[in-house]
């Protein structure tokens, strides 16, 4: 028993006694261990995202080049948030197509397979187009079974993408693009994580507005 605990066992059950009560204790122990493990995983996820928000906030303060800021945001999301891949797409105001402008992580040509529009057309029904069109986050916590990811499911599976989130970049009240995050775990994104991602995207938008206005905040901007 001592050796098992020293090797990382969470609990042990002494053999002997009445079987029914022992199985009941075993079931309780397993349930408690699973809940404890899930709670720890949630804390790890949130801590990673807090680190991403903190690092991007620092980048927002120091970087005054638009492309450099977008690339740094993707890099931080992958290195600090341990996302498999992150990319940022911007809307072409004439064609309404979304073009990748920054990316980091295990991409391996995935972006070449994308055709994204913000219009109410087949290429606009995915997460990115819908997030920009509706101005709200779009989540797929199981890409393999999500009909919105049908056109990209095979390519995503080859790269190990199992969950994804699209957060719109809303600057000066207008959605100008979106950030996509890809995770290796099914059901990676929950409400708290989405709120953190929305916070970091809002900070990026604030920085983009400052860059656009040569460091002068717009009248409606508030710290």
Distances (CA, A) of 112 to 11, 109, 152: 50, 5, 11
* Domain that includes residue 108, residue range: 39-212
Q: Which of 48-57, 71-80, 140-149 has the highest mean pLDDT?
A: 140-149
Measured CA to CA in angstroms, residue 151 lies from 154, 177, 201 at distances of 8, 20, 26
Quick check: is 223 in a domain?
Answer: no
Predicted local confidence at residue 47, as pLDDT: 72
Residue pLDDT, tens place only, 106-126:
999 999 988 999 999 999 999
The answer for residues whose C-beta is within 8 angstroms of residue 30's C-beta and 6 or more apart is: none
Gyration radius (Cα) of the chain, Å: 22
pLDDT band at 143 (very low <50, low <70, confident <90, very high): very high
| Any domain includes 105 | yes
User: Domains in the chain: how many in total?
Assistant: 1
Do 61 and 54 contact (CB within 8 A), yes or no?
no
Torsion of CA 12, 17, 22, 25, to 10 degrees: -60
Domain containing 67 — which CATH number? 3.30.450.40
pTM, two decimals, is: 0.76
pLDDT confidence bin for 218, thresholds 50/70/90: very low
Nearest to 200 by CA among 101, 95, 60, 106: 60
Mean pLDDT of all residues belonging to the chain: 85
33 located within any domain: no
For residue 126, the SS3 value is coil
- Answer yes or no: is 16 within a domain: no
Task: Let me know if residue 20 belongs to a domain.
Answer: no
Overall average pLDDT of the 181-204 stretch = 88
């Amino acid at each position: 028993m001592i050796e098992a605990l020293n090797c990382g066992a969470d609990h042990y059950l002494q053999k002997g006694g009445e079987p029914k009560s022992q199985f009941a204790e075993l079931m309780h122990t397993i349930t408690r261990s699973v809940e404890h493990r899930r709670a720890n995983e949630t804390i790890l996820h949130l801590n990673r995202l807090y680190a991403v928000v903190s690092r991007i906030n620092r980048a927002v303060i120091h970087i005054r080049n638009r492309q450099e800021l977008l690339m740094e945001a993707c890099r931080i999301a992958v290195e600090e948030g341990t996302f498999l891949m992150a990319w940022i797409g911007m809307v072409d105001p004439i064609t309404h197509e979304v073009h990748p402008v920054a990316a980091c992580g295990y991409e391996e040509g995935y972006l070449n397979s994308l055709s994204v529009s913000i219009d109410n057309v087949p290429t606009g029904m995915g997460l990115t187009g819908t997030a920009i069109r509706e101005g709200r986050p779009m989540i797929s916590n199981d890409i393999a079974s999500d009909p919105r990811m049908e056109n990209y499911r095979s390519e995503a599976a080859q790269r190990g993408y199992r969950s994804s989130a699209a957060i719109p970049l809303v600057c000066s009240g207008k959605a100008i693009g979106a950030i996509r995050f890809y995770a290796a775990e099914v059901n990676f994104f929950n409400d708290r994580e989405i709120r953190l991602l929305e916070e970091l995207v809002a900070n990026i938008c604030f920085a983009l507005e400052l860059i656009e206005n040569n460091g002068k905040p717009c009248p409606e901007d508030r710290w």
